[in-house]
Structure 1
């Protein structure tokens, strides 16, 4: 390693997902079921609002906590759902920025953070940057949020429990009972509870439930990237107890500074856009991919997000992904998200034509398909 490079960067690898994206750029007409972002464009009225902001000169830094109108609209929406006495909100530079600020603000070296395996790739990397200790809890084979497993993983060093529902990479949604039990466990043990809710609007069966409904100290991270296809705009938001929010703002002042101001005006307009059509379309895509593969692959039916996480038909998920790529199908090996190399991730955020082509290849890769 180059002598100028900091030791902390050796604690984690570059994202394996990015490596697949790089490979996609080299293939001619790939069947791309790897990308974790919507396949629809940003709705026109949101684009217009951002353009209008640019044209009218709203191009400078915003306040670190976000533009006043967006923050007030978020505060009103959050207060209606969670009428807690102590709950504030600020606008972050994407949900990834919110995650980083949360870790930097709450995790000391040696602090342990519990989360499920499989997990979003950023969780252990961010923790290691802060000197924290990742404590992944195995959730195979059904990927449920099991309160008993969470409780068993708690030690005197446990600082935080991190939950993600609907989950990336599995698409599995935690039940109200599971979330309530974990929320109560965190409250009883005085452990921080961080809820990553970026896929909260992609909830296909029943109504979305947040652990903040059961624990008023829950810190929630959400945003507009996935729901409104604004992945490149970098507008997220975080809400929770005021002292935690103020500390995260202090760190944001010396790092991200603020979310891009024109994008925040777009996000304000986004709060008025009805997404029912897109959500119904993704529910249909979920059913299309599940019904097309569930007789050939072991799959836990996703209740949200836009991923399925099938079991590989051969012992190594990574080896199976290599076979799929040889057929022009881009999917993500499960060991990027897990200590296990037994599964692979499919994103069904794609056109119906692409999904049908992907199903055809995946069925052909199974004997008798």
Structure 2
């Protein structure tokens, strides 16, 4: 297939680009607007491959997206471009509304115009794959069953509300116009090339630098953790096998509290990079909780596993080991980002 992918310089998008080039025969064109979280370095190992291409483009520019579609002639679109940092959505919701809602609307309109002009066989085979989050389902209680594809929507942050709106747009374009679209919802990802404002990389980097390790509230909020390369594999399986109108909840069955995650990172670092000042866990500090902090997310991936022939390869311990080692070995990358951040907003924590 020829795949057009939005947000391919982001954390998950770059993992999909690498998987497409390294593990399939598909071509991929990455369109990305190069926001603060974009990292071209994340695809540097595959960027010279003849099956990879890049175009800088704002997904809200429908005409520009349409020109790229007409020139590239993709068989599928994987829409990953999004603002995703919950703390930022609380402070500055507007950009989330623009990118996540209006950007998805723009993509749907550009893709619909392109798709309806395809020859019948190609039109029937075409797919629009919208990548979303489990946060659209809201909050689980301590004893609630995990989310499934049938869980009602109940978003509770500006970020999750914007993603819920984009999911509804995708379903409406499928129902009203027949656009062969489907959705995947996933839980918290972690792994290599993760921008250093999120919980796992922030904790690793702060610990390596001897800084405070902030944990919201009591640290008992629960997330289901999925290694990013496993998610990338699932997304590619989905674009190959997903059915129009379908939904696939992708997870790894690896729930942990935030405090358990931070302590696990400290334990790995104690083994790999012992600190003469003492165990890294001494740096943990509980800080005031953020507004509207959902207590628990967890996914039951049974349907996706069966439909896509996929299961996560990494448990949390093995994935975390790979992640911590990667951040130790790639200090120049995150140090450059941290230096730029000094002139921007303080880096917070999200989970």
Whose RCO is larger (CA < 8 A, sep 6+)? 1
Q: TM-score range with shorter-chain normalisation? A: 0.3 to 0.5
Which structure dedicates a bigger proportion of its chain to helix? 2
TM-score normalised by the chain length of structure 2: 0.35
TM-score normalised by the chain length of structure 1: 0.34
